[in-house]
Amino acid sequence: MKILALDSTAIAASVALCEDDRLLGEYTIRNGNTHSETLLPMVESILSLFSLSPNEVDLFAASAGPGSFTGVRIGAATLKGLAFGLEKPCIGVSTLEALAENLKLVNGLICPVMNARRKQVYTALFEAKDGELTRLMPDSALAITELDEILAGYDEPIYLVGDGYEITQELLTRKTLSVPDRLRHQSAYSVAQVARRSYEMGLRTTDAELSPTYLRPSQAERERAERESKQN
């Protein structure tokens, strides 16, 4: 089964083409360009290298959030455009679960952390053991101090992963283990493998059913709510 996967939920943009669990090719860039300019050309390039059209892809996958509101929308819209009218499965996966997938071969706790500003993170918690991930906490938007209290209740080694790695590590009282930079960031290959497992467990969604996950209101929505509360 050929899988085309995307991730544009943070600073890195990543595109991968897989044959089941085998990686055929992956582009991951952090060049400062907006994902609206880079993501589709990356997709077109990787398909062209393998002489494939979107119609020859068996499963489309994307990180559906949480993450950058703009990045999440760009990824979902790009995938919807590629899969539109093809009647192929189109699966959105948790960005945080895909980040944890980067480290699934370690043994210990994996805590994905994405910078949500104001000393807050999008986060979850997984236990990795013998190459398998078990979710311990749902995707959440938390202050780092709240996350610190949660992690204090565990004795296992803890690995952080995600673009909130440095700021979270600085503010936690619990010591965490070092993770190489290459494994801290979004990987479309990890997105593909989370989607593949969901597909094998029977999940079937269409491009029309794919919807972003934000976990909290956007800045514009928060500012509007603040203005309205002051007026009332």
DSSP state of 94: E
Looking at residue 34, what is its pLDDT?
85
Looking at residue 220, what is its pLDDT?
47
* CATH number corresponding to 2-94+187-219: 3.30.420.40
Q: For the segment 49-67, what is each residue's pLDDT rounded down to a tens digit? A: 999 999 999 999 999 999 9
Coil, helix or strand at residue 57: coil
pLDDT tier for residue 121 given thresholds of 50, 70 and 90: very high
* CATH number corresponding to 97-184: 3.30.420.200
Kindly report, as residue ranges, where domains of CATH 3.30.420.200 are found in the chain: 97-184
pTM comes to 0.92
C-alpha closest to that of 2 among 87, 55, 59, 86: 59
Q: What is the mean pLDDT of residues 155-174?
A: 95
pLDDT tier for residue 148 given thresholds of 50, 70 and 90: very high
Kindly report, as residue ranges, where domains of CATH 3.30.420.40 are found in the chain: 2-94+187-219
The DSSP string of 106-150 is SSEEEEEEEE-STTEEEEEEEEEETTEEEEEEEEEEEEHHHHHHH
Least confident of 30-44, 104-118, 136-150, 218-232: 218-232
